[in-house]
Structure formats: structure tokens, C-alpha cells
Chains A and B, each alone.
Chain A
Amino acid sequence: MKFEEIRKQAQSRWQAIWNDQAPVILVGTATCGRAAGALEVLQAIKETVKKQNLNCLIYEVGCMGHCYAEPLIILRKPGFPSICYGHVSPVLAENLVTNLILNDDPSLEFVLGALEENDLVPSFSDFPRSKYEKRILLKNCGHINPEEIEHYIANGGYESLSKALRMKPVEIVSEVKRSKLRGLGGAGFPTGEKWDVCRHSEGEPKYLICNGDEGDPGAFMDRAILESDPHSVIEGMVIAGYAIGARHGYIYVRAEYPLAVQRVQNGLLQAKKYKFLGENVLGSDFSFDIKLFQGSGAFVCGEATALIASIEGKPGMPRHRPPRVAVQGLFGKPTILNNVKTLAYVPHIIKNGADWFLQTGTERSKGTAVFALAGKVVNTGLVEVPMGTTLRQLIFQVGGGITKGKRFKAVQIGGPSGGCLPESALDLPIDFDSLQESGAMMGSGGMVVLDEDDCMVEVARYFLDFTQKESCGKCTLCRLGTKQMLDILEDITKGHGKMEDLETLEELAEDIKQGSLCGLGRTAPNPVLTTLRYFREEYEAHIKEGRCPALMCQTLIAYYILPEKCARGCDACVGTCTVEAISTDKKRRIKVIDQEKCVKCNTCLAACPPQYDAVIKLSPPDKVPKAGFAPTLTLPHRGGGNP
């Protein structure tokens, strides 16, 4: 079958779904949705449809990006807009479906938004955040069934491949070069130039590898794309393979992403069936196959040479460069290694041309950036914004600000290789270069927002702990230097730090940067350096006063129940305490924490009803008044309490 026919067929089937009189139900079942219970919701919907004998179509979709409102479902009934509901439970799903489909009641109180503009309910494009968003890579995510290749084709998929095969490989490379597309895995190396080197390198066969080893803790963009729109990556790979003259491709996916693995596997089979892959792609002379390779849980394998070693069946240790992998890579042959998002961008650039791509972004960073917003931000989830958007716009306009009305403290960007930026850096435009200047880096797109309750020393310690464990051990300074830094940071968070430790940290950081072969070591000190640069007073409070200003370092805090606020009849903390450390004072009926038993698990603080708000944290721990004495210190006010 010719591509035109395939496309027509797919489109007419897609139209039939949406124009049919039968209602359509979409359930978001990406990993984040499943974590929130999407599979149970799906099951409930299937049962309702069966019980009520409804004639409607149910299909699973990927991640819509609104992870804060998972599980999400979209109901579409002719005569109504396509309505998206958030925070759906199985019972609610049953009601929503019955109400809309049988009784024409759109249950307005549960609506999150509509997909298209209408007079009934606000649409997603009316959300303030939509002014800042620009969805190119995420366009299909959450709207098509990732297990149905026809859905992808009907939405313009594989058109670019068909177009690319009519172009000369060199034309594709120069188009990508002209678009100034930069590697979206974090380093930002110009993609077209890399391809050009590989094209001109000698050695056959050439390899193309898609790097889906998204190891940054706090990042899930690649996972979401692989789960929600796997064909966009596959199409990008085939085009890239054609452009550089590769014969074999690999998709390297982390083993921690079982759903992504399954969806990619399914996508590869379908693509093969439709002749987008395999021998003679779409009837041309070009043949290309893709193998799926599952990583085994090593952060360092995100590095190109380590990833290649891992595919070759060796421990993932980076090697010296040059020779660059574009010259000598997998099995010693020229190899191109691109990030998931970079490859997913390729079909868009081929379809719309480099000029279209150049319209978005800043002078030196073009296109859009996908971020995984997490941490203490209201609208956690996936966002795609044009390069050049400021961090402030992203966190406060798109992300909806900080949860629980707390104060913003810092944003951790770029994972263990990046840094923590303070309020003063919020007006920086997001692009590869300006973030680097501030001491952080763009990274692959993980963004964790921190508020006043997060201790920056502890965050630095956390990242060092991570890189120290993940260091492959090849370079001495990375292996031993990170361990020394970690020991120092651990001392500080436990109140055993010395002022001269701060200088030692800075010296070690410089040495590790200089003496490491790969990006892991060279960027490992960044979280420490940025926190030292922007939050030095927190380090000093730990060292000089044994006090954790954010009340996070467990050794330096104690939990305390304010006697004047504690409600005498309430037992919420006593019941929830996981180690039975809270007892009732017989005389006064107030609750008292046994500091010896307390494991500082925060459960009592979370359980104390907001109208009492009696549980507080104190630092240093010796601030806790001795039993039998009335507290004389001024205690921090948590607000909202009613003594």
C-alpha cells in the first residue's frame, strides 16, 4: 500500500471516531495516571458501559501534562464539547459517564477544562498558562492512543518520513543544520553538525542511538513522550538514520520505565507492519531497523560512551574523547546518539521547514523546551514552552506558584548536574547559555521547585549522595572527591561542620571538575557550588548555631506540641504516631512527645487538624522546653491556628 492510501485510511477512521454519533471516552493511563489510579478508573468505566449497555468507544491515551489532576478522563458526546475531568475516582467516573451519556448532564462541578473553545465550559486555551505554552512535541500526548499507529498517522504522522525519502540525505542534514536545532538532552550540541560529521566518517555500518536513559531524578519528559507518542520518536529515528546513512538503530530505554518499554516495543512492531521500518522503507532503497535496548539502572549510562559500552555488554564506563562517537562509536563504527526529544523534533522540522522552527525561541536556542515540573509547585506536570520563557513565568504562570501559600526559595534545574537558583535568578530566560552562566544548566528538563521548608544544604547533600553512588569509579577525583564532599556535607547537616569546611568544599569542587573524564564528574559539584554561592548563610547557620533554618535536617530538629494550642479532646497525633511516642499528660490532658522515641517522621504534624495547628518543629533541638516548664521562647507562628 502506498503512503497516501495508508494516510487516507487512517484519517477516515480517525474522523469516524470523532464525528460518529457514539460518544468517545478517553482515559489517561501513562505511568503518572496509573500511580493515581487510572487503571481502576478505566475498569470502572468499562463496567459502567457494559452495565448500562452504552454504545461508546473507550480508548487509553498518554499523558496530557496535567499530572497534578490525575487521573484524567475526557468525555466526548456529540452536541457537547470534549470535556476533560480531573481527580477522577472509579465511583466518580461511573457517575460522570452515566450523567453525560444517558442524561446529558456534563457535571460541571468536576470539569477541568474542555479541549476546544465553546460556550459551555472554559477550555484549556482559556487557562492563563496556555498563553505561555507552545505544544509541539507534546501535541499528540494525551490525545491519541499510543498503541494505535493509525491515530498517529491520522494526525500527520509519518508524513515527514514520506517527504524525507523523496529528499537527498544531504538535504535533510543541511535543513536540520539550518534550523539550528540543538541537542535537547542537556548539552545543547548542534544536531545538524553532529550528523554531518557522522555522514562523512568512514566505516560501515553506521549506527543511530536514541538516548532514552533519562536518569536525572526529578525528570520524566522522555518517559512521557515514549509512553504517550512513541511513533514520533520512531519516525524521527528513521529520518535521522536515512540522513546519516545508518543501517541499524537502537532505542535505549531505562528499565525503570516498563510502560515506555512496552509502548515502544508495540510501536516498533506496528511501524514494521506498515513498512516504516525494516527492509525497503516505504518501497525505497533505504533499509533501517531499530532494536530496543533496556538499560539496567546506571545513571552514568546517559553519557554517550558509557551508553555505548553498555549496549556492547560491558560495564557502562565512559572513555576518552576524541575520537568522537560520530567517528568511532558503537562497535567502533560511526554512531549518532540523540536524545528522545531531539529525535521527536526531526519530523516537525522536515514537515514545516527550518524557517518555521527558527521563528520560535531565542537568538542561540531555537524551538521549545519541555520541562517536568515537580516539587512544591501547584500544577505539577509536563509543560512545553518556547526557549526564552523566564523561570518566573514557568513557575508562577504555568506552574501556578508554590503550594500551600509558602514562599519560593529555589528552583533546582538540570538534576544532579545542574544547580539551585534563587529568587534573584528567576527572570533569567530559559535557554542553553544563560542558565550555564548562572551556574546551573538546562539539563534534559527536570525542574524541581523548592520552598521555604527545603534546606539547601540537605538538597546539596542529596545530590552529592546520588552522584557519589552513581560515579562509575574510573576517575580518582570523581570517585574519591565526591565521597569526601559528601562526608563533609553529612557532617554539616548533622551539626558537626566547621567553617573551614566550606573552603575545602570549594577546593574539592574545582579539583573534581578538572579531574573527571565525563559530564557526571565534571558537573557533580554544581549543586554544592550553586547553593554555596546563593545560600551560604544556610551553611553558616548549620555550622555556627547547629540550626537548620528550613527545619529539614532531621538531626538538627525536634518536634514539639504547643501546650496552649493543643486541643485536649483531640487524639489525632496519638493515633497516627508510627512509633507510639506521643502520650497524654494525665493532669492537663495535653499531648506530649517523648523525644527519645520520636523518629521525626512528620506524621503528627500532618495529622494535627489545621484549626489547632499545635505541632511545630524546632531547631536546634535543645529549644524544646524541658517537661514541667512553661515555654519561654518565642515560637515561630505557622498561621491559621486557633489556640
Chain B
Amino acid sequence: MSNEEAENKEKTRAILEGVGSKRENLIPILQKIQEELGYLPPYAMIEVARFLNIPEIDVYSVVTFYNQFRLTPPGKHSIRVCLGTACHVKGGHITLAAWQRRLKIGPGETSPDREFDLDTVACVGCCAMAPVTVVDKKVEAHANPTRVDGILLSYQLRKEQEEKENN
């Protein structure tokens, strides 16, 4: 068992200790685990199934049904491109293509260096600011392809800065 796995299992158990074992707690539990671990690894789902005394397949079916849950580890920064109607007519798909081109990954994937993960979101309700992209919980308004480059550049600069400070 890797270090990370042992740590994650420990965290999962700590979360489970604080909640009741009723079936209706399944989704809130999964949300909490994902918030803590960033994704839902198989061993965490098995742990939850045992805790709620339900078949593992039931947990898996809920996890795969809802868009919010992810089965792969996230990147350090999350990129969520809004593809709501208002964003679409103002070029949300063009923004998504720009992210894909720059990060070289598709929606639902994480970059090989685990810096960024890319995904789409149905609508974040900021339609008046379309097209928007949510970067690490911050909603970036009017995110067109040039803005995409700007955002990535600012992350790169910050990373370089940090590396310099660390050396």
C-alpha cells in the first residue's frame, strides 16, 4: 500500500466517524470525501459501502451517475469551462478548445504533470459575464482565448516565482 493510499484511507475513516450510517447520507459523505481527497479512489468507495452496509455497486452507481464526482486524481489547479447557453452563444466552445489546445488534455482529464485538470460545467449562473471559466473556484469573466493565455501565463509566472523563492 502506498503512502498516499494509507493517508487517504485514514482521512476517509475520520470523515465516516463523524456521520450517521443511514443510506441517505451517502451523497453528503461522498461529497465530503471528494472535498478532502480531491477524488474518489476505489478503496474509499469500498470503505463507504462497508460503513453504510450497502453493496459496493450501489456506491459506484451513485458516483458515476452524478457529474460532480471524479474517479481520477485532480490537478493542482482546476479549470472548469462553463458551457451554459449564454456562454455557448458567446463562444464557450471556442474557450474550451483554447484550453484543450494549451493544456493538451481533454475535458475530464488531468495534465501529465498534475498541474491542471480540465472539465466542463453545465452552467455556473454567471450568464451575464459570458463566456466564463471557473479557475480554482474563481469565476473568470469574459474568458476568451487570449484571456486563457493570460491566465496560464499568470500561473506560470507565479510558479516560477515560487521556485525562485524555494531555491
A positions within 8 Å CB-CB of B? 31-32, 34-37, 67-68, 70, 214-220, 223-224, 255-258, 293-299, 310-316, 372-376, 380-381, 412, 415, 446, 448, 450, 454, 459, 462-463, 466, 470, 472, 576, 578-579, 599-603, 606-607
Residues of A within 8 A of B88 (CB): 217, 459, 462
Q: Find A374's partner among B124, B128, B138, B141 (CB 8 Å cutoff).
A: B128
Is the pair A313, B23 in contact by a Cβ cutoff of 8 Å?
yes
Is the pair B67, A298 in contact by a Cβ cutoff of 8 Å?
yes
A448 touching B139 in the complex, CB below 8 Å, given contacts A298-B67, A375-B85:
no
Is the pair A448, B66 in contact by a Cβ cutoff of 8 Å?
no
Q: Find B139's partner among A31, A298, A606 (CB 8 Å cutoff).
A: A31
A448 touching B127 in the complex, CB below 8 Å, given contacts A217-B84, A578-B149:
yes
Give the docked Cα–Cα distance between A373 and B126 (Å).
11
CB distance from A260 to the nearest CB of B (A): 9
Q: Find A372's partner among B24, B68, B124, B127 (CB 8 Å cutoff).
A: B127
B94 contacts A by Cβ under 8 Å = yes
Is the pair A35, B126 in contact by a Cβ cutoff of 8 Å?
yes
Residues of A within 8 A of B27 (CB): 293-294, 296, 310, 313
Q: Find B94's partner among A224, A294, A454, A602 (CB 8 Å cutoff).
A: A602
Select from chain B the residue with minimum beta-carbon distance to A300. B65
Is the pair A36, B25 in contact by a Cβ cutoff of 8 Å?
no
CB distance from B42 to the nearest CB of A (A): 18
B44 contacts A by Cβ under 8 Å = no
Give the docked Cα–Cα distance between A606 and B142 (Å).
13
Is the pair B85, A70 in contact by a Cβ cutoff of 8 Å?
no
Pick from B62, B86, B90, B137 the residue with the most CB of A within 10 Å.
Answer: B86
CB distance from A410 to the nearest CB of B (A): 10
B81 contacts A by Cβ under 8 Å = no
Give the docked Cα–Cα distance between A415 and B67 (Å).
19
Residues of A within 8 A of B26 (CB): 313
Is the pair B129, A32 in contact by a Cβ cutoff of 8 Å?
yes
Is the pair A32, B65 in contact by a Cβ cutoff of 8 Å?
no
| 20 additional contacts (CB under 8 A) given A217-B88, A314-B62 | A35-B139, A35-B140, A215-B123, A217-B84, A223-B125, A256-B124, A296-B68, A296-B69, A297-B68, A313-B26, A314-B58, A315-B61, A315-B62, A373-B128, A374-B86, A375-B85, A376-B90, A380-B128, A448-B86, A472-B65
A374 touching B25 in the complex, CB below 8 Å, given contacts A32-B128, A219-B123, A578-B101:
no
Is the pair A450, B137 in contact by a Cβ cutoff of 8 Å?
no
Is the pair B101, A220 in contact by a Cβ cutoff of 8 Å?
no
Residues of A within 8 A of B68 (CB): 255, 295-297
Residues of A within 8 A of B149 (CB): 578
Is the pair A311, B129 in contact by a Cβ cutoff of 8 Å?
no
B46 contacts A by Cβ under 8 Å = no
By size class, the interface of chain B is: 35 or more
CB distance from B13 to the nearest CB of A (A): 20
A312 touching B141 in the complex, CB below 8 Å, given contacts A31-B125, A256-B125:
no
Residues of B within 8 A of A607 (CB): 146
B28 contacts A by Cβ under 8 Å = yes
Residues of A within 8 A of B145 (CB): 578, 601-603
Give the docked Cα–Cα distance between A440 and B87 (Å).
21
Residues of A within 8 A of B139 (CB): 31, 34-35
A35 touching B123 in the complex, CB below 8 Å, given contacts A412-B85, A601-B97, A606-B144:
no
Pick from A67, A293, A298, A374 the residue with the most CB of B within 10 Å.
Answer: A374
Give the docked Cα–Cα distance between A316 and B122 (Å).
17
CB distance from B126 to the nearest CB of A (A): 5
Residues of B within 8 A of A257 (CB): 124-125
Produce 1/0 per residue, B92-112, CB < 8 A to A.
Answer: 001001100100000000000
B79 contacts A by Cβ under 8 Å = no
Residues of B within 8 A of A579 (CB): 101
Is the pair B89, A466 in contact by a Cβ cutoff of 8 Å?
no
Q: Find B83's partner among A217, A224, A576 (CB 8 Å cutoff).
A: A217
Which 8 residue pairs are nearest across A and B when measured between Cβ atoms? A67-B128, A217-B84, A220-B125, A218-B85, A374-B127, A297-B67, A296-B66, A313-B26
Residues of B within 8 A of A600 (CB): 94
Select from chain A the residue with minimum beta-carbon distance to B95. A601
B132 contacts A by Cβ under 8 Å = yes
Give the docked Cα–Cα distance between A32 and B142 (Å).
12
Is the pair B122, A466 in contact by a Cβ cutoff of 8 Å?
yes
Pick from A36, A256, A257, A606 the residue with the most CB of B within 10 Å.
Answer: A256
A578 touching B146 in the complex, CB below 8 Å, given contacts A35-B140, A217-B123, A459-B89:
yes
A218 touching B65 in the complex, CB below 8 Å, given contacts A312-B23, A576-B146, A603-B146:
no
Is the pair A446, B97 in contact by a Cβ cutoff of 8 Å?
no
CB distance from A444 to the nearest CB of B (A): 12
B130 contacts A by Cβ under 8 Å = yes
Select from chain A the residue with minimum beta-carbon distance to B58. A314
Is the pair B125, A214 in contact by a Cβ cutoff of 8 Å?
yes
B74 contacts A by Cβ under 8 Å = no
Residues of A within 8 A of B126 (CB): 31-32, 35, 220
Residues of A within 8 A of B94 (CB): 600-602
Is the pair B129, A218 in contact by a Cβ cutoff of 8 Å?
no
Residues of A within 8 A of B66 (CB): 296-298, 315-316
B8 contacts A by Cβ under 8 Å = no
Residues of B within 8 A of A294 (CB): 27-28, 31
Residues of A within 8 A of B86 (CB): 217-218, 374-375, 380, 448
Q: List 19 A-B contacts (CB under 8 A).
A: A34-B139, A36-B141, A217-B87, A218-B86, A255-B68, A256-B121, A256-B122, A293-B28, A296-B27, A313-B23, A313-B26, A313-B27, A313-B62, A373-B128, A375-B89, A462-B85, A472-B65, A599-B97, A602-B144
Select from chain A the residue with minimum beta-carbon distance to B66. A296
Residues of B within 8 A of A376 (CB): 89-90
